[in-house]
Structure 1
Amino acid sequence: MTATSREVRFSLSSLEVAGKVWGEPGGLPVIGLHGWLDNAATFDHIAPSLEGIHLVALDLPGHGLSDHLPMAGYSLWQQASTVLQVAEDLGWERFALLGHSMGAIISGILTGSLPERIIGAAMIDGLMPFTSEADDAPKQMARFFKSSLAVGNKRKPVYDSVEKAISARVRGGTTSITSDAASCLVERGLMPDHGGWTWRTDPQLMLPSPLRFTNRHADSFIESITSPTMLVLANQGVMHKHPQVLDRIERFKNIQLHKMDGGHHLHLEAEAPAVAGLLNDFYASLSTTDSSAS
């Protein structure tokens, strides 16, 4: 695949969604889904090395160059619905997925829910959402209500250079990331403001979820996956902070598990060539086993 990507926009019923495209029609159709607070540039370092696929990497609503949603609009299932709307716009009845972190969780929801639509899914350091049990729901909803009342009073930071915004992302992220990797995400995630630069990201994305899946809900989606599915698990990634999640992942025998040294954004860092190699093997196997891919 060429190193050059092209921009694309999808005019959906209620919003516009932006994205980046690598490859040409005729390759395996793949929709790419980034992580929380990231954008389509998350695939900049691996997409040029992927072979035989037509990759459409999205800026999910609220991220990158895509529109924002109304109040209380963000949920895993809402984002998954947007992915399906884009697939409809592309005319893709069946397609594969490439997801990182939150994008991997969304991929799991779609693959478990709609096996007839999903040819296969490759996930990078993400599979299970944060969960809580039914008895915790009132407290979780209260956290959302209180935070949502305050979100309009918070001002976004303004940086006098892109370089300072990159440094802020490196220092302030919830997971470690190199400056080179952060620069891909930051440059697509900024907009001019008062002579400087601020984040395009919707502040609502920082709100706590009003409702979470229970453990049983989360397990059920993964257990329902019948399409070929691969997970690249970073040995120094985000899920290693949650040993109980790792234990659950090991129990899913329907997931091809590949463990690799590297951090949460290993597909954007030094490990990118190795990740691309795993992805090429996976997508090649889908191309040979699914005659309906177009």
Structure 2
Amino acid sequence: MNLVEEVRLNLGHIELAAHLYGPEDGLPVIALHGWLDNANSFARLAPALRGLRIVALDLAGHGHSDHRPPGTGYTLADYAHDVLHVAEQMGWQRFSLLGHSLGAIVSVLLAGALPERVERLALIDGLLPLTDEADNAPQRLGEALRAQLTLADKQKPVYRDPERAVLARMSGRLAVSREAAELLAQRGLMPVPGGYTWRSDSRLTVPTAVRFTLPQATAFVRRLACPGLLIAADDGLLAPHRALLNELPIQVQALPGGHHLHLDDATGATSVADCFNRFFAIS
């Protein structure tokens, strides 16, 4: 039987919720989900991965993890800082990272910044952060600041029942299957007067204040010192960037499916698991 353990990790500056999978003596892996998802993103995949001790986090502001304090935000560097503290708390000097989408981006940034800490990178349909031209930086910061000022006046959607929330998640910006939406809703919804709403911090929807330029972003990938495998979904977010991917020092495996191919159905989860089981079995 595949068992999952619910834990909370007090990092000092924030408390994060997580799921633990696999044997205690397995290879240490920290799993990071995508934007507005939660640890249930790995509910299909993690039990199918062999010989790994997986800590699947709810990233800050997501799922059952704490939100960041007022006056702060959700930068990629802050996420990387959290992951490093999780590794410290687990006693892992070296560890591997399993990341989807936003989680894959954070994984690459951390592995590029501290290559001595990361053993392997297993990535799903995510690699580089969204980039921008240097000349656009002032306008982007202005848009973010204006959005922050008006955020307090915005209300989260309230759904009369979980079914309506599931339907909304299925047709969201990053659409998922019904089964995937149900899994994410199990961990992502909370009761409020009048029904249910998402637990995620509203600040996660504010435009990013600062973006890397493309040369800055690719510098992190070029600095990787560990083996890496990127699963690129045929109908995912990376499909238009295959030429760039071929120029970077990381193995790429294309698989059928959409952006959430590891969660949408059992077939996709099995395909991804087969690739990653071979990848982690290499000595």
The TM-score range, normalised by the shorter chain, is over 0.9
- The equivalent residue for 1:292 is none
Distance in 2 between the 1:212 and 1:24 partners?
A: 39
The alignment status of 1:56 with 2:55, answered yes or no, reads: yes
Cα 1:136/1:72, change in 2 over 3 Å: farther
User: Structure 1: how far apart are the matches of 2:6 and 2:194?
Assistant: 26
1:24-73 CA deviation, whole Å, 9 max, x = no partner? 21100000000000011000011111100000000010001001113342
The whole-number CA distance in structure 1 between the counterparts of 2:223 and 2:169 is: 36
CA contact (8 A) 2:115 2:225 kept: yes
Residue of structure 1 in register with 2:130 after alignment: 130
Alpha-carbon distance between aligned partners in 2 of 1:46 and 1:118, rounded to the nearest angstrom: 21
Residues 231 and 255, structure 1, Cα contact 8 Å, conserved in 2: yes
Whether the 8 Å contact between 1:34 and 1:103 is mirrored in structure 2 is yes
1:175 CA displacement: 2.0
Question: Equivalent residue for 1:180?
Answer: 179
Deviation string 1:211-245 (CA, Å, 9 cap, x unpaired) is: 001111101000111200000000100122xx3x3
Q: Distance in 1 between matches of 2:113 and 2:218?
A: 12
Helix, strand or coil for the counterpart of 2:34?
A: coil
Mapping of residues 149-228 of structure 1, within 5 Å: 149-171=149-171, 173-228=172-227
Shift of 1:161: 1.2
How big is the shift at 1:158? Answer: 1.2
| Matched-pair contact (CA < 8 Å) for 2:62–2:201 | yes
The 3-state SS of whatever aligns with 1:29 is strand
- 1:80-95 paired onto structure 2 within 5 Å: 80-95=80-95
1:283 to 266, 280, 283: 280
Cα contact 2:169–2:175 (8 A) shared by 1: no
User: Does residue 110 of structure 1 match 2:137?
Assistant: no
Q: Which aligned segments of 4 or more residues in structure 1 are displaced greater than 2 angstroms?
A: none
2:35 aligns with 36
Separation (CA, whole Å) in 1 of partners of 2:67 and 2:123: 25
- 1:131-179, Cα deviation, whole Å (9 max, x unpaired): 01221110000010000001111111111211111001112x2122111
Deviation at 1:103, TM superposition (A): 0.3
Q: Secondary structure at the match of 2:81?
A: helix
The answer as to 2:260 corresponding to 1:265 is: yes
Work out the CA distance in 2 between the residues paired with 1:142 and 1:134: 14
How far off its partner does 1:246 sit?
A: 2.7
Kept in 2, the 8 Å contact 1:189–1:201? The answer is yes
CA distance in 2, matches of 1:99, 1:190: 22
Report the alpha carbon displacement of residue 195 of structure 1 after superposing the two structures with TM: 4.3
What residue number does 2:232 align with?
233
**Partner amino acid, structure 2, of 1:197:** Y
Secondary structure in 2 matching 1:213: coil
**Local SS of the residue matching 1:7:** strand
Secondary structure of 2:258's match?
coil
The 8 Å contact of residues 175 and 238 in structure 1, kept in 2 or not, is answered as no
Q: CA deviation at 1:15?
A: 1.2
Let me know the Cα RMSD of the aligned residues.
1.0
**Separation in 2, partners of 1:246, 1:217:** 19
Identify which of 231, 243, 249 aligns with 1:247. 243
Given the two structures, how large is their TM-score scaled by the length of structure 1? 0.93
* Secondary structure of residue in 2 paired with 1:217: helix
**Alignment partners' CA distance in 2, 1:134 and 1:257:** 29
Aligned to 1:19: 18
- 1:44 & 1:3 partners in 2: Cα distance? 10
